[in-house]
Structure 1
Amino acid sequence: MIYFDHAASSYPKPDSVAHAMHEAVSSYSANPGRGGHKLAERARSVINEARKTIASFFNAPSSKHVWFYQNATMALNQALLGFPFEEGDHVVATKFEHNSIIRPLERLVIEKKITVTYVEPNVDGVISVDAMKKAITNKTRMFAISHASNVTGAIVPLREISLLTKEKQIMLLLDASQTAGTISIDIDRDGIDLLALAGHKSLLGPQGTGVLVTKGDFDLRPLIVGGTGGASESPFQPLQWPERYEAGTMNTPGIAGLLAGIKEVEALGLNHIWQHEQALMRLFISEVQEIENIKMFGPSDLTNRVAVISLSMNNLDSHELAVILDEHYDIAVRAGLHCAPKAHETLETSEKGLVRVSFGPYNTKKEVERLIEALKEISLAF
């Protein structure tokens, strides 16, 4: 199988990820922070190492500012549903948002009576700073934006946007699901207040891992309350971090795997990963744009996008094309609306959806050439 669905989940995982997870289950499968015995302490130490590694990787103030969740969706829900919004507050998002941002925001519209503006991309398919600035009102409390679109790969001008949010004293929540592990992210340098991460994508970790990194104390209300391994005599959730935001048993095997994945990213190097994926994307786009009945979507300036390319083929529904690639060529891609309905409304592709191709650090030029050949053959047949 040739795998081109890294925007959904990276595959294959590094061997070190599977080894770390197996070791966690077979050698110290105890409850971290729930006992003083050796196995519980070993589990706790691995989680603490993961926290410190993530804090260093994204330049968080300390490891206590790193909170683990089941996925980026839960991290975003904690950031949005837990934020102390008041009736009439305003949030700016974009048309490129994933449902992980859209649905919590729309819930807040109903429950807290906030308002939301979804900013349109410009003619080049990019969210501009000017458009974000025009969306601001005197009630704007937060920008909630994806670092890069999971449909077009378009990257937002993060540092320019963060200068705007700081000037206007607006919170910046960044969904880095498509960029963490591919692009350098520094919450201090980039002016990020809340950073949500998916562990199973470019960070090369397993499914079931997500992270919320916070720059400061924003008085978030915990989504879930319960056991934390300490202060058990109190009926209330403790105030100290990270326990306040991590009720219940931790996913020790998953976090151990995520730690191993991040170490692999560090060993490969972010610049190497970026250059490798960019080269594959450039090869793919340069060849496929010559196929007459295929249309690709996304910025023409390839430096403004991650290695995510969505396309349509005349006379074929996106799911049909994906099935042909899967069953006849053993190539995995993603078809449909990609949990980003507003992006497809903007692109006018909601009816048939698009086929999304996304590259990862282990894909090869030969694999990309095989996909190009397949698309050419299918194009001639239909």
Structure 2
Amino acid sequence: MIYFDHAASSYPKPPTVAKAMSEAVTQYSANPGRGGHKLAEQAKNVIEQARKKLANLFDAPSKKHVWFYQNATMALNQAIIGFPFQKGDHVVTTMFEHNSIIRPLEKLVKEKSITVTYLEPNEDGLILAEHFQNATTEKTKMFAISHASNVTGAIVEISEVSNIAKQHEIVLLLDASQTAGTIPISMENDGIDMLAFAGHKSLLGPQGTGVLICKSDFGLEPLVVGGTGTESELLHQPSSWPNRYEAGTLNTPGIAGLSAGIDAISEMGINAIRSHEQELMVHLVNAVTGIEGVTLHGPTDLSKRVAVISLEVEEVNSQEVAMILDEHYQIAVRAGMHCAPKTHESLQSSEQGLVRVSFGPYNTLEEVDMLVKALKEIKEAFM
């Protein structure tokens, strides 16, 4: 199977990820932070090492600012639903957003009467810092932004947007699910206040891992309360970090696997990974551009996007294209709406969706050529 669905979840994982997860289950499958015995301490230490690696990777203030969740959706819900919005507060976001941002915001529109502005991309398929400036009002409390679109791959230049946020004392929440592990990110240098991402995409970790890194105390209310293993005498959720935002037993095997994934990308080098994936994207775009009846979506300046390419084949439903690629060519892609309805609304592709191709560090140029050949044959078969 040729796997081109890395925007959903990376595959294959480094062998060290499975090894670390197996060791967590077979060698120290105790409850982290819930007991002073050696196995519980070993589990806790593995989690704390992963926390420290993430703090270092993303230039967070310290490891206590790194909070683990089941996925990026839960991390984003904590950042958005838990934020102390008041009636009439305003959020600026984009048409590129995943439902993991759209739905929490729309929930607050209904329940707290906040207002939301969705920024449209320009004619080049990009959303610029000036768009945020023009949309900002005295009521704007947050910029909630996907670093890169999971449909077109278009990148928002976050350091430029963060300058605007600072000028107006606006909290900047960045969803880096499509960029963490493939684009260097520094919370300090890029001016990011809250950073959320999935562990199972470009960080090469397993599913069931997500992270929110919070730079400062923005008065977030924890969405889940309960056991923390320490400060158990309190009848309310403790104020200490990370305990305040991590009620319940953490996913030790998953976090151990994520820690190994971080080691793998660090060894490969994030810049090297990006360069490789960009090479694959350029190769595909150049090859597909010459196929009559196949339309590509997204910025034509490929330096301003990650290796996510969405396309449509004239007169062939996107789901049918994906099914043919899967069943006849053993090529895995993602078709449909990609949980990003406003992106498809902007692209006018809501009716049948698009075929999305996304690359990872282990894909090759030869695999891309096989996809191009398959697309040509599919197009010819429907002519």
Secondary structure of the corresponding residue to residue 156 of structure 1: coil
- Provide TM-score, normalisation by structure 1: 1.00
Q: Which residue of 1 aligns with 2:264?
A: 264
| CA distance in structure 2 between the partners assigned to 1:316 and 1:228 by the alignment | 52
| CA distance in structure 2 between the partners assigned to 1:109 and 1:283 by the alignment | 43
Aligned residue type for 1:213:
I
- Establish whether residue 326 from structure 1 lines up as the match of residue 340 from structure 2: no
Secondary structure of the corresponding residue to residue 291 of structure 2: coil
Aligned residue type for 2:30:
A
Q: Which residue of 2 aligns with 1:94?
A: 94
| CA distance in structure 1 between the partners assigned to 2:34 and 2:220 by the alignment | 25
Q: Which residue of 2 aligns with 1:176?
A: 176
Q: Which residue of 1 aligns with 2:308?
A: 308
| CA distance in structure 1 between the partners assigned to 2:164 and 2:376 by the alignment | 45
Q: Which residue of 2 aligns with 1:115?
A: 115
Q: Which runs of 5+ in 2 are unaligned?
A: none
Q: Which residue of 1 aligns with 2:7?
A: 7
Q: Which residue of 1 aligns with 2:216?
A: 216
Aligned residue type for 1:228:
T
Offset at 1:268?
0.3
- 1:187-225 CA-to-partner distances (Å, cap 9, x unmatched) read 000000000010000000000000000111111000100
Secondary structure of the corresponding residue to residue 83 of structure 1: coil
Alignment of structure 1 residues 183-202 onto 2, 5 Å: 183-202=183-202
| CA distance in structure 2 between the partners assigned to 1:328 and 1:319 by the alignment | 14
- 1:157-193 CA-to-partner distances (Å, cap 9, x unmatched) read 1111011111111110000000000000000000000
Q: Which residue of 2 aligns with 1:253?
A: 253
Secondary structure of the corresponding residue to residue 320 of structure 1: helix
Q: Which residue of 2 aligns with 1:226?
A: 226
Secondary structure of the corresponding residue to residue 296 of structure 1: strand
- Establish whether residue 28 from structure 1 lines up as the match of residue 10 from structure 2: no
Aligned residue type for 1:332:
A
Q: Which residue of 2 aligns with 1:337?
A: 337
Q: Which runs of 5+ in 1 are unaligned?
A: none
Aligned residue type for 1:169:
E
Offset at 1:234?
1.4
Aligned residue type for 1:284:
L
Q: Which residue of 2 aligns with 1:80?
A: 80
Q: Which moved more, 1:128-137 or 1:170-179?
A: 128-137
Aligned residue type for 1:79:
A
| CA distance in structure 2 between the partners assigned to 1:228 and 1:347 by the alignment | 45
| CA distance in structure 2 between the partners assigned to 1:153 and 1:231 by the alignment | 44
| CA distance in structure 1 between the partners assigned to 2:234 and 2:162 by the alignment | 39
Q: Which residue of 2 aligns with 1:130?
A: 130
Aligned residue type for 1:109:
V
- 1:277-307 CA-to-partner distances (Å, cap 9, x unmatched) read 0000000000001001000000000000000
| CA distance in structure 1 between the partners assigned to 2:270 and 2:231 by the alignment | 40
Secondary structure of the corresponding residue to residue 262 of structure 2: helix
- 1:319-374 CA-to-partner distances (Å, cap 9, x unmatched) read 00000000000000000000000000000000010000000000011111100110
- 1:45-78 CA-to-partner distances (Å, cap 9, x unmatched) read 0000000000000010000000000000000000
| CA distance in structure 1 between the partners assigned to 2:160 and 2:226 by the alignment | 40
Offset at 1:233?
1.7
| CA distance in structure 1 between the partners assigned to 2:160 and 2:130 by the alignment | 10
Secondary structure of the corresponding residue to residue 349 of structure 1: coil
Secondary structure of the corresponding residue to residue 369 of structure 1: helix
Tell me the number of residue pairs that the alignment of Structure 1 and Structure 2 aligns: 382
Secondary structure of the corresponding residue to residue 102 of structure 1: helix
Secondary structure of the corresponding residue to residue 187 of structure 2: coil
Q: Which residue of 2 aligns with 1:380?
A: 380
Offset at 1:34?
0.3
Offset at 1:131?
1.3
Aligned residue type for 1:221:
E
| CA distance in structure 2 between the partners assigned to 1:234 and 1:352 by the alignment | 53
| CA distance in structure 2 between the partners assigned to 1:68 and 1:371 by the alignment | 37
Offset at 1:130?
1.4
Offset at 1:315?
1.0
Aligned residue type for 1:277:
E
Alignment of structure 1 residues 362-373 onto 2, 5 Å: 362-373=362-373
| CA distance in structure 2 between the partners assigned to 1:131 and 1:211 by the alignment | 28
| CA distance in structure 1 between the partners assigned to 2:16 and 2:188 by the alignment | 30
Offset at 1:230?
1.0
Secondary structure of the corresponding residue to residue 156 of structure 2: coil
Aligned residue type for 1:36:
G
Superposition misfits of 4+ residues, deviation over 3 angstroms: none
Secondary structure of the corresponding residue to residue 239 of structure 1: coil
Aligned residue type for 1:219:
G
| CA distance in structure 1 between the partners assigned to 2:25 and 2:111 by the alignment | 41
- Establish whether residue 68 from structure 1 lines up as the match of residue 68 from structure 2: yes
| CA distance in structure 2 between the partners assigned to 1:309 and 1:163 by the alignment | 29
